[in-house]
């Protein structure tokens, strides 16, 4: 079983107290994947946020690797928040353990502790913003003369 103090180091749980994390842990599931396994498949439904406890994974779309995740990274938040099908495929690069938090579990957090819920949503927004910044930098660096509409 994962300890609350360990989860405080993950961006998803930044600012949460150990007591709050203790209440969230029973709402999460641990998942394990072998190298090459699809964790999320492009076009498939996904109602979970996942974060990596151990291992590495890659985001691919149309055969192009967009990003590599490692321990502590969160993924699946786009579909989790906008309720659409998965935008990309995420595959384990190595044996990978993740923890997941479903939409149903997040609603339970909302009911149990609105402050913890607000912090988790803010942390998700920060993670998405950082990822968008990185993708903007990568796009302008690799395609400096391309016009973006």
DSSP labels for 50-61?
EEEEES-EEEEE
pLDDT digits (tens, 9 = 90+) for 67-87: 899 998 989 888 777 778 888
Q: Judge whether 76 and 49 are in contact, CB under 8 Å.
A: yes
pLDDT of 149: 53
pLDDT of 100: 95
CA distance 134 to 68: 12
- Which residues does the chain have with pLDDT short of 70? 1, 144-149
pLDDT of 145: 63
Domains of the chain with bracketed CATH: 4-142 (2.60.120.10)
Whole-prediction pTM value?
0.81
Rounded to 5 degrees, φ, ψ at 86 are: -60, 135
Neighbours of 1 (CB within 10 A): 5
CA distance 77 to 148: 25
**Cα distances (angstroms) measured from residue 54 to each of 34, 69, 105, 149:** 11, 10, 22, 38
The SS3 assignment for 75 reads strand
pLDDT of 131: 81
pLDDT of 42: 92
């Amino acid at each position: 079983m994962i300890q609350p103090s360990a989860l405080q180091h993950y961006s998803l749980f930044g600012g949460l107290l150990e007591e709050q994390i203790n209440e969230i842990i029973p709402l999460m599931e641990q998942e394990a994947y072998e190298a090459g396994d699809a964790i999320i498949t492009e076009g498939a439904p996904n109602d979970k946020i996942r974060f990596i406890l151990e291992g590495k994974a890659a985001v691919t779309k149309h055969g192009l690797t967009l990003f590599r995740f490692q321990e502590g990274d969160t993924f699946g938040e786009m579909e989790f928040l906008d309720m659409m099908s998965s935008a990309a495929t995420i595959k384990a690069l190595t044996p990978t353990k993740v923890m997941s938090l479903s939409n149903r579990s997040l609603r339970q957090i909302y009911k149990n502790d609105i402050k913890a819920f607000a912090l988790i949503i803010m942390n998700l927004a920060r993670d998405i913003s950082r990822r968008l910044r990185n993708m903007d930098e990568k796009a302008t660096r690799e395609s400096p003369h391309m016009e973006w509409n």
